[in-house]
Amino acid sequence: MELLVAVMIIGILVAMAVPVYQTSLRFVKRKTCFSNQRFIEGGAQIYGAQHGELVSLQGVVDGDHPLMLEYIFKKPPVCPAAPKPADPLDPDSAHGAYSLDASGGVLPCGFGGHGYYHTGN
């Protein structure tokens, strides 16, 4: 009987802890995603300043992107909410790669409902 009570108490504690853990994990992923977006926009501004022009980098930020080739970043930031393992039918987004529009702004993250951290330019 004592063992049954102990197991029930542990079960109740776990049932209370799991939602709190999941909420915290979503919060951390969202903040990491926003941080990555700010990091990429900062790198695009540095790139523009080094080249003396307005930033017009476009495309997926991966190993072949000008921000990587110019050594602004050592490796492309990846969205923490991207699916794992990667989806072979959609390799860029499945790996959590970010994209830049024609003005050099980071496009909204499509994973986990993160959206875009910036309210406007």
- Which of 33, 35, 41 is CA-nearest to residue 106? 41
pLDDT in tens, the chain (121 residues): 889 999 999 999 999 999 999 888 888 888 888 888 888 888 888 888 888 777 778 888 888 888 888 878 888 888 887 777 666 665 555 577 888 888 778 887 777 666 665 544 4
Give the start-to-end residue ranges of the domains of the chain: 2-100
Q: Are 82 and 76 in contact (CB under 8 A)?
A: no
Q: What is the pLDDT of residue 5?
A: 92
